[in-house]
Amino acid sequence: MSNKRSSQFLITFIFCGISLFLSCQNSSGPRTDEGDAATEVFDRPNILWLVTEDMGQFIPPFGDSTIKTPNLSRLAAEGITYTHLFSPSGVCAPSRASIATGMYHSSIGASHMRTTSYTDVTGLPPYEGVPPPETKMMSEILRSHGYYCTNNNKRDYQFQAPVTAWDESSSFAHWRNRDEDQPFFSIFNFTTTHESGLFEPYGFRSNEMRHYQAGDTSFTFPKGSARLTEAETPVHVSKDLDFPIPPYLPNTPLVKRDMWKVYNNIAEMDRQVGAILDQLEQDGLLDETIIFFYADHGGPLPRQKRLIYDSGLLSPMIVRFPDKRYAGTKDNQLVSFIDFAPTAFSLAGIKLPSYLQGQAFLGAEKAAQPRTYIHAAADRFDGFTDAIRAVRDQRFKYIRNYRPEQGYYLPVVYRERIPTMQELLRLRDEGKLTEAQAQWFRSSKPEEELFDCDADPHELNNLIADPKYKDKVDELRTEMDRWLTDIGDQPNLPEKELITQLWNGSDEKPTTAAPAINKNGEQVVITCPTPGASIGYRIHPATGPTSKTWSVYTDPLTVTKGVELEVSAHRVGYVPSDTISLEL
Q: Are 321 and 71 in contact (CB under 8 A)?
A: no
Mean pLDDT of the residues in the chain: 91
Beta strands in 393-461 (DSSP E): 396-401, 448-452
Q: Are 331 and 80 in contact (CB under 8 A)?
A: yes
**CB neighbourhood size of 139 (10 A):** 28
Q: How many residues does the chain have?
A: 584
- For the domain bounded by 10-369, which CATH number is listed? 3.40.720.10
User: Which residues are CB-neighbours of 179 under 8 A, at least 6 positions away?
Assistant: 1, 148
Q: Tell me how far apart the alpha carbons of residues 362 and 339 are, in angstroms, rounded to a whole number.
A: 10
Q: Tell me how far apart the alpha carbons of residues 579 and 537 are, in angstroms, rounded to a whole number.
A: 9
pTM score, whole prediction:
0.92
Burial class (CB in 10 A: 0-12, 13-18, 19+), 381: buried
Amino acid making up residue 287: D
Domain ranges of the chain: 10-369, 377-497, 516-583
3-state secondary structure of 315: strand
One digit per residue, pLDDT tens: the chain, 584 residues?
Answer: 434 333 333 344 434 333 333 333 333 345 544 333 333 545 788 889 999 999 999 999 999 999 999 999 999 999 999 999 999 999 999 999 999 999 999 999 999 999 999 999 999 999 999 999 999 999 999 999 999 999 998 999 999 999 999 999 999 999 999 998 899 999 999 999 999 999 999 999 988 888 888 888 888 776 777 889 999 999 999 999 999 999 999 999 999 999 999 999 999 999 999 999 999 999 988 887 788 999 999 999 999 999 999 999 999 999 998 888 899 999 999 999 999 999 999 989 999 999 999 999 999 999 999 999 999 999 999 999 999 999 999 999 999 999 999 999 999 999 999 999 999 999 999 999 999 999 999 999 999 999 999 999 999 999 999 999 999 999 999 999 999 999 999 999 999 999 999 999 999 999 999 999 998 888 999 999 999 999 999 998 877 777 889 999 999 999 888 889 999 999 999 999 999 998 87
| Structure confidence by residue, pLDDT tens digits, 12-43 | 443 433 333 333 333 334 554 433 333 354 57
Residue 36: predicted pLDDT: 39
Residue 13: predicted pLDDT: 40
Fold (CATH) for 377-497: Arylsulfatase, C-terminal domain (3.30.1120)
Residue 37: predicted pLDDT: 35
User: Which residues are CB-neighbours of 186 under 8 A, at least 6 positions away?
Assistant: 12, 19, 21, 46, 47, 48, 49, 148, 149, 150, 151, 152, 173, 174, 175
Rounded to the nearest 10 degrees, what angle do helices 70-77 and 253-282 cross at? Answer: 60
Q: Tell me how far apart the alpha carbons of residues 96 and 111 are, in angstroms, rounded to a whole number.
A: 11
Residue closest to 80 by CA, chosen among 159, 157, 11, 156: 11
C-alpha 284, offset from chain centre: 28
**CB neighbourhood size of 214 (10 A):** 16
> Which residues are part of the catalytic machinery?
92
Dihedral over alpha carbons 301, 302, 306, 309 (to 10 degrees): -90
Residue 392: predicted pLDDT: 98
Q: Are 392 and 500 in contact (CB under 8 A)?
A: no
Residue closest to 138 by CA, chosen among 352, 361, 321: 352
- For the domain bounded by 516-583, which CATH number is listed? 2.60.40
Q: Tell me how far apart the alpha carbons of residues 245 and 79 are, in angstroms, rounded to a whole number.
A: 29
**CB neighbourhood size of 548 (10 A):** 8
Residue 30: predicted pLDDT: 53
SS (H, E, C) 516-576: EEEEECCEEEEECCCCCCEEEEEEECCCCCCCCCCEECCCCEECCCCCEEEEEEECCCCEC
**CB neighbourhood size of 395 (10 A):** 11
3-state secondary structure of 63: coil
Q: Are 399 and 377 in contact (CB under 8 A)?
A: no
